[in-house]
Chain A
Amino acid sequence: MHKAKGEVVSVNESLVGVRTTDGAIMNGEVAYIIVEDGKRLKSEVIDVKEGNRAYLQVFEDTNWMKVGDPVEFTGLPLAVKLGPGILGSVTDGLQNPLYELGKIEWFLERGLEVDPLDNTQKWHFTPMVEEGATVTGSTVLGSVPEKLFEHKIFVPFSIQGNHTITHIVKEGDYTVDEPIATIQDSTGKSMELTMAFEWPVKRPMPFTERSVPIKPMPTGIRILDALFPIAYGGTACNPGPFGAGKTVLQHSLARHSQADVVIIAACGERAGEAVEVFKDFPELIDPRTGKSLMDRTYIVGNTSSMPVAAREASVYMATTVGEYYRKQGLNVLILADSTSRWAQALRETSGRKEEIPGPEAFPMYISTLISAFYDRAGVEILGDGNTGSLSIIGTVSPAGGNFDEPVTQATLLSTGAFWGLSRALSDARKYPAIDRIDSNSKYPSQLEQEEVTYLLELLRDGKTIASNIILMGEKGITDESYIRYQKAELLDAVFLQQNSFHEVDGVTHPERLRLMFNMIQEIIDTPVDIKGKEEIRSHFNFIRQAFLDWNYMKPDEEGFDKQKTKLLNLLKQMGHVAENV
């Protein structure tokens, strides 16, 4: 394709108008604007108008640009480079590795581009096909070990029709840019392949075969795993006002979720939060693999003070990388924080394009984009019969904490689990501050369905009685109701609340969740013979205290079983107080 050329005719923050002087242009293609000092600013065509005019969103600061600056179009859409070496890395929203950029400049100076994948590192390649074999897009050519698993090397997904392998390298060490195979199509045209290839970020990778998310993914967070679970390949959103604990929840999910690969898309959020992850994770050992937590993590950081136009790109890039690792047969989890910032970036651009605004000035098409984004999650049955999955958990930051706004509403329509964060709960320090009544999930829990219902009923009862207490005082309700209320409070305090910063309490694995649930059930089902509100409360206080102490103990710790016995004894007393007296 002939590459177009042009020149700048207007500049309005990140939106730049260009008149093309030569060649055809494609909506969505990447272009470079060359400013006075010779720096090349990456941008993307987002609108083509009559009179050879195109609008570009520029992924960099547009200062010092002027009318007449030359523009070079590439003819190619914005793409991500896929291959071994992504895991453990930290890049900006356009896949520039931040540590590499950091070697050049302290600040994120514009116009810097670095190879996304380290092209000096050698990977040990073992071929799996022979010369003469017939291959097509996504056929596995071989594999290299990457961190925790064997990374399959594919024929690029964009290749269509049968090709013949005319050459493939022997087992050995190669970089991502070295040719490893040559293929030939039916017309005899040859093509060299490397271990890496590009895929346009805005085009969802086709599923080999799609299945439905039904297997719960343990997150280590009790309220989620028990009441509002997410499944492998599922989607969830956690909208909430600022300060309700979205960030802590996301970090906890990044650490403890039982996924093979975790991709963090820090989109338009605080840089410091991404820093915490990529400086902490290398030091943390993942108990499931015995390796550094960073080995399974990839971070895309387009933080709030980086150029706004690249926010959108960062979300799509994370998703494309996720789809690629799903093709590897892995369970991938994307944490997108925050999709609202992405939506706001679209709003800014839309406003500059003077499009007719929808509600709260968001563009009309925002809901379609959000739905299409979450639809890229899912379970995939691969060619070899294995499955891979991509789950997406998106943070939403609704203006004023009001869920009745376009981004939250569109997200609720597109996701399978809703974790509503509540300021009332976070003010009460009841973390995670996920609303116990209004949240929901359509995925199966690790507990039985009846058990989930059983807990939710108690919580609803507790809430009703609590409001009665406010109206009528403790004296205005029966002892029986008061006991039910205390049980609901206890369930909340020792089971739903969790201290994310505590080594033991911060993560609860499925076996322990079961153990704790059984204990809770025992407490709820034990009849209480105590009379008088003060006595009832005091007794539940002792149980709560003992339960919390137990929560903070490791199962293999001395005293763990003793504490459990202590709890059971407290329970016995509860039923037999009358007799003892």
Chain B
Amino acid sequence: MLQKTYENIDSIGRAILSIKAQGVHNKELAEVIYPNGQKAFAQVIALDGDEVTLQLFGGGFGVSTDCKVRFLGKPIQVGFSDDMLGRVYSGNGQPIDRGPELLSDMVRVAGPSINPVKRLIPKDMIRTGVPMIDVFNTLVRSQKIPIFAKAGEPYNRLLANIATQTDADVIIIGGVGLKYDEFHYFRQRIEEAGSKNKTIMFIHTHRDSIVEGLMVPDLALAVAEQFALQGKNVFVLLSDMTQWSDYLRQVANAQDQIPANQGYPGDLYSQLASRYEKAADIDGAGSLTILGVTTMDDVTHPVPDNTGYITEGQFYMKDGYLELFGSLSRLKQQVNDRTRPDHRSIMNAMARLLSEAEERVKAQKFGSVKDDYSLRLLEYRKTFQTELMDPFRYLELEDALDLCWDILAQHFKKEEVGLSSKLIEAYWPEKGKFKILKEMIHE
């Protein structure tokens, strides 16, 4: 295809450039050529007559009116080959680990979604060893689920733990807006866990342009999808999608789009959805599971809010604990009836009692909690937190379930827990015969 070069740049913004050109395709890849011969990528995002709008991978800073733009006659693509395992790439798809450039097949980025009839109903539990996940919000292969947490919580540690403790064939890390030390941490953890040769990293740090950051999830997911189509079970880690959304907001505002909520573009939901929806268990092939991070202060903020409507639940991390309330795995019902017969029931009973206890916490502030039952509920809440909510305590599911029974028996009478008589008979431990829980000093 003829590659034309154009010189009449009309305007240059922070991440946007417009230029007069003909015969240009929507979403076409282009090169901005600086007067000194340096090049940076750009992509067409809108056309109006001969006015072409591009987003600049390298940002608008330093672009001058005497730069040239060459349209490359191809869409954005990403390389795909097994040799990429163990490598680190930037948001424009170039290796940044000082390793050699690879010759590989190019695959399309941000392609259409898979036909729903090719999806399987997710049915395989992923054992993580984290009690709050395995017991209360079971992770399922092909699930898309983020961690909701304030900036500064150890979410990346949990992310890396889950990815390396499970049986994923391929791990793809998409880092958006990472601090350098976070990037370093991921790399170190992956190496320590011996997972390096099944991991590919696409990394955008704060020194890179926001447009590259915007590309990271698409590159990561496009590569992941290819592995999944080859029959691999792939884990994609995306951290942090709140920053990604902020970049989206910046680019949308630069285009003068009418903002919807808090300056975010009206299509924030669709934009997030088209990424997260890449998660799938594919009929006759492998699977793609997405674990994300959504940093937030308030769950009603547009980013966590829209994310919550898209993902299949979320893990809510607060003060270093994985919380029960606010966390949800929408797919757990697909698997937790096939683990152990008491799984579902005890999960619900523990939650109901904890919710009762939370009410007492409120009441306690009024000094009105004096009765024995309420005091026991508050004790129960304490035990629950210390024994179960630590995201870095490793327990097999069965042990975690036994621990739940121990905790119930520690604080309650059989008829107080609202479990069917059948289950109580089968699992209720005698005092002093706890399997997991260390006996408390009192009682």
Report if A272-B337 is in contact (Cβ < 8 Å); known contacts: A242-B309, A306-B113, A545-B421: no
Chain A neighbourhood of B229, CB < 8 A = 106
CB-CB contacts of B36-66 with A at 8 A, as 1s and 0s? 0000000000111110000000000000000
User: In the complex, A78→B269 CA distance in Å?
Assistant: 26
Q: Which of B277, B355, B415, B420 contacts A552 (CB 8 A)?
A: B420
Q: Are B372 and A279 in contact (CB under 8 A)?
A: no
Known: A348-B270, A351-B265, A351-B266. 15 other contacts (CB 8 A): A11-B26, A36-B25, A62-B26, A63-B26, A63-B27, A108-B112, A108-B113, A275-B119, A348-B267, A351-B257, A360-B260, A401-B300, A427-B325, A501-B333, A534-B371
Residue of B nearest to A90 (CB): B117
Binding site for A on B (CB under 8 A): 22-28, 46-50, 75, 111-122, 142, 229, 257-261, 265-267, 269-270, 273-274, 277-278, 280, 282, 300-302, 305-306, 308-310, 312-314, 325-326, 328, 330-331, 333, 337, 344, 348, 351-352, 355-356, 359, 362-363, 366-374, 415-416, 418, 420-421
Kindly provide the distance from the CB of A26 to the nearest chain B CB, expressed in whole angstroms. 24
Q: Which of A90, A242, A344 contacts B270 (CB 8 A)?
A: A344
Chain B neighbourhood of A429, CB < 8 A = 348, 351-352, 355
Interface size class of A (residues with CB under 8 A): 35 or more
Which 5 A-B pairs give the minimum distances between C-beta atoms? A473-B368, A400-B300, A304-B273, A305-B277, A242-B308
Chain A neighbourhood of B48, CB < 8 A = 9-12, 17
Q: Are A102 and B277 in contact (CB under 8 A)?
A: no
User: In the complex, A12→B113 CA distance in Å?
Assistant: 20
Q: Are A10 and B369 in contact (CB under 8 A)?
A: no
Q: Which of B282, B310, B359, B366 contacts A304 (CB 8 A)?
A: B310
A476 contacts the other chain (CB 8 A):
yes
Q: Which of A319-327, A369-377, A464-472 contacts B (4 or more CB under 8 A)?
A: A464-472
Binding site for B on A (CB under 8 A): 9-13, 17, 36, 61-68, 90, 98-99, 101-102, 105-110, 241-243, 247, 268, 270-272, 274-276, 278-280, 301, 303-306, 308, 341, 344-345, 347-348, 351-352, 354, 357, 360-361, 397, 399-402, 427-429, 469-476, 493, 501, 533-534, 537-538, 541-542, 544-545, 548-549, 552
User: In the complex, A12→B48 CA distance in Å?
Assistant: 8
Q: Are B114 and A108 in contact (CB under 8 A)?
A: yes
Report if A305-B337 is in contact (Cβ < 8 Å); known contacts: A67-B47, A110-B112, A272-B119: no
Among A11, A64, A538, max chain B CB count under 10 A is at: A11
10 A-B pairs, CB-CB below 8 angstroms? Answer: A64-B27, A67-B47, A67-B50, A98-B116, A107-B112, A306-B113, A344-B267, A351-B257, A397-B309, A545-B421
User: In the complex, A65→B23 CA distance in Å?
Assistant: 10
Q: Are A275 and B115 in contact (CB under 8 A)?
A: no
Chain A neighbourhood of B330, CB < 8 A = 247
User: In the complex, A108→B116 CA distance in Å?
Assistant: 9
Chain B neighbourhood of A98, CB < 8 A = 115-117
Report if A474-B300 is in contact (Cβ < 8 Å); known contacts: A64-B26, A66-B24, A361-B258: no
Q: Are A471 and B302 in contact (CB under 8 A)?
A: no
Kindly provide the distance from the CB of A447 to the nearest chain B CB, expressed in whole angstroms. 26
Q: Which of B300, B337, B370, B418 contacts A402 (CB 8 A)?
A: B300
Kindly provide the distance from the CB of B237 to the nearest chain A CB, expressed in whole angstroms. 20
Chain A neighbourhood of B371, CB < 8 A = 473-475, 533-534
Chain A neighbourhood of B325, CB < 8 A = 427
User: In the complex, A341→B266 CA distance in Å?
Assistant: 11
